[in-house]
Structure 1
Amino acid sequence: MSGDGWVTVWGTTEPPIRVERATGPTGLELHRVVVGNALPGAVVLAERDDEVLLVSQYRPAIGRRCWELPRGFADHSDGGDPLVAAARELFEETGLVLEGSRSIGSVYPDTGLLAGAVAIVAGTVAHDDDPGDPGTDGEVDEVRWVDRHRFRSMVESGEICDGISLGAALVGRWC
């Protein structure tokens, strides 16, 4: 049991996920899911000119491919720094180098169930850097630069549908 009253009731190490239980202030039993290694995840708002970079990935939880902003878990090699995690994730997924990165906020993907936050990191990619094949981690199927109009139409059509990308886009004023 942790000092805040949460007890792990189930867990696995790869990927690191645990389900915790606690008693709330009204006596109601509460549950939360802790994903990752207690370090914040990072989502990358990578821009060049008036475009933002999207990646396409198959998401088994919803059984379909989605266009999203690049993102991932921080790891201990990042030193707990979301800017470092964002740059690493962008490079792993696209082969591109993030420049001038800055934190512009954070988002909690599901405050009713998930305990962790995701840092929103914005930065630029050099104009002459074009993503070719997806990066080295094997998670990404395709990469694409889109302008604001195309981004909004992809949201409206459901091609971009995950809450992390939508939250980051809203903070970064892409929606």
Structure 2
Amino acid sequence: MTRHDFRTVASEDLHVGRILALRVDEVEMPGGGTAKREIVEHTGAVAVVAVSDSGEVTLVHQYRHALGRHLWELPAGLLDHDGEPPVTGARRELVEEVGLDATEWHVLVDVAASPGFTDEVVRVFLARGLTEVDRDVQGDEEADLEVHRFGLDEAVRMVLAGDIVNASSVAGLLAAREVLEGRAEPRPADAPFRDKPTRFPARKK
């Protein structure tokens, strides 16, 4: 079976901001016509399931304006440093948000946030061998963060109860339990990142 080539025949930028852009593509469809697709371009991001020797995970309670409330989430941040390996960004965010460093890093999952309209993909890491370091607070938003530690089973219970709804946090915590209980193997920290966003970062060069 020959797959249709969804070729973009026209594209228009509607907004280009600091961390994302919005464009409208006109795409050739299998029936012979075209359709418009609104696409949010994103920098991409990383998140970290940081697991202590005692099996606790570190979560942050952070205000998210789109939902209008504070959410429980994994430590996370944007891939907004040009050319920086994702694991390096993850290590930086872990220090800045919760004051932790780690000696062991693996990839758990890559999460496409909502591929119907955005190319945002979050790479979620598993970090072990934790040590406390000085937290490097970056700006007003991170100053508002509350940091708490939960047993992994309790964090998974929060996911299933609807108390954790952030997509990368949900996926990362469930994947971490599979790995830590021996039912799955994580990938190396430098595993290929096929769907890492490239369109918006290329605009900034």
- 1:143 shift after superposition: 0.6
Amino acid at match of 1:136: V
From the CA coordinates, give the structure whose radius of gyration is larger. 2
Decide whether aligned partners of structure 1 residues 119 and 147 sit closer, same or farther in structure 2, where only a CA change above 3 A counts.
same
The residue number in structure 2 matching 1:142 is: 146
Establish whether residue 31 from structure 1 lines up as the match of residue 38 from structure 2: yes
Q: Give the CA RMSD over aligned residues.
A: 2.5
Which residues of structure 2 form unaligned runs of 5+?
A: 1-6, 179-205
Establish whether residue 92 from structure 1 lines up as the match of residue 122 from structure 2: no
The Cα offsets for residues 31-71 of structure 1, whole Å up to 9 and x where unpaired, read as 211122xxx31111111121111011000000110100111
- 1:161 shift after superposition: 1.1
Percent identity (aligned): 27
Which whole-Å CA distance do the structure 2 matches of 1:55 and 1:148 have between them? 14
Structure-1-length-normalised TM-score: 0.81
- 1:169 shift after superposition: 1.8
Decide whether aligned partners of structure 1 residues 124 and 31 sit closer, same or farther in structure 2, where only a CA change above 3 A counts.
same
The residue number in structure 2 matching 1:165 is: 169
Which residues of structure 1 form unaligned runs of 5+?
A: none
Which whole-Å CA distance do the structure 2 matches of 1:34 and 1:24 have between them? 20
Structure-2-length-normalised TM-score: 0.70
Q: Choose which of 14, 20, 25 in structure 2 pairs with 1:16.
A: 20
Equivalenced residues, count: 165
Which whole-Å CA distance do the structure 2 matches of 1:150 and 1:31 have between them? 38
Amino acid at match of 1:146: F
Which whole-Å CA distance do the structure 1 matches of 2:11 and 2:133 have between them? 47
Which whole-Å CA distance do the structure 1 matches of 2:71 and 2:133 have between them? 21
Q: For the Cα contact (< 8 Å) 2:24–2:36, is it kept in 1?
A: no
The residue number in structure 1 matching 2:69 is: 64
The residue number in structure 2 matching 1:76 is: 81
- 1:89 shift after superposition: 1.1
- 1:105 shift after superposition: 2.7
The residue number in structure 2 matching 1:55 is: 60
Decide whether aligned partners of structure 1 residues 45 and 20 sit closer, same or farther in structure 2, where only a CA change above 3 A counts.
farther
- 1:13 shift after superposition: 2.8
Moved beyond 3 Å, runs of 4+: none
Q: For the Cα contact (< 8 Å) 1:35–1:114, is it kept in 2?
A: yes
The residue number in structure 2 matching 1:101 is: 105
Mean Cα deviation higher: 14-23 or 59-68: 14-23
